[in-house]
Amino acid sequence: MSSYPEPTNVAATSVMRGNRKRDTRPEVRVRSLLHKAGYRFRKNLLIAMGEGRVRPDIVFTRYRLAVFIDGCFWHRCPDHGTSPRSNSWYWGPKLDRNVERDRMVDGLLHDSGWMILRAWEHEPPELAATRIVRALSSCGLAGRKQSVSERQPVPGASRSSGRSGGVEDPEEQEVAQRDQARQREPEVKAEEAEGGEGG
């Protein structure tokens, strides 16, 4: 048995390879809401701690707030997390290690004086942004330049469906186009595989 499993499905392999490490659609949507509301932050900033390093998705350095937008599959969401049936000997321990690493990182950040906020990818972006604003308020952001209430994202604000048409934010439009291309990729590869076998 090798340390990495042999892929069993071409389409699933293509989807897994298409998963991004950063700048996922949920991250971009939350960042876009925060930016439009007047908040400024760093993205994927390397934070070095005594025993480790981490790159949160959104970082408010002045307020020492680290935000993670966790994928339901990769971080074992209690509502949507699944365990693959194929190669379960590999995926089960790998996903467990992800959850263990999340807990370790949270502890290290906390011990270094950081506040940690985690949101799931299935969480509506407006809700995640509102939770971040509340966390910033508790860190002492209120009263600086603008009050938190003036900057707070409005929950339920009209958002695009993720299609490239009608998307105003260039970063969100780029992500939507990338996602559309990624969705078409497994179909193209599956058609190529079928064509190769029939010939």
Q: What is the CATH number of the domain that holds 47?
A: 3.40.960.10
Q: Identify the domain containing residue 199 by its residue range.
A: 160-199
Contacts of 158 (CB under 8 A, 6+ apart): none
Structural domain total, the chain: 2
4, 88, 99 from 76: Cα distances, Å: 20, 14, 7
Query: Lowest mean pLDDT: which of 20-24, 56-60, 108-112, 132-136?
Result: 20-24
User: Span 175-196, mean pLDDT?
Assistant: 51
Looking at the structure, tell me whether residues 36 and 76 fall in a common domain: yes
* pLDDT surpasses 80 at 13: no
Looking at the structure, tell me whether residues 68 and 87 fall in a common domain: yes
Percent above pLDDT 70 for the chain: 60
Q: Is 51 helix (H, G, I), strand (E, B) or coil?
A: coil
* pLDDT surpasses 60 at 96: yes
Looking at the structure, tell me whether residues 142 and 178 fall in a common domain: no
Asked if residue 33 is part of any domain, the answer here is yes
* pLDDT surpasses 80 at 86: no
Indicate the pLDDT class of residue 5, thresholds 50, 70 and 90: low
Q: Hey, which of 119-128, 167-176, 189-198 has the most confident mean pLDDT?
A: 119-128
Backbone angles phi, psi at 188, to 5 degrees: -65, -45
Asked if residue 3 is part of any domain, the answer here is no
Can you give the pLDDT at residue 21?
63
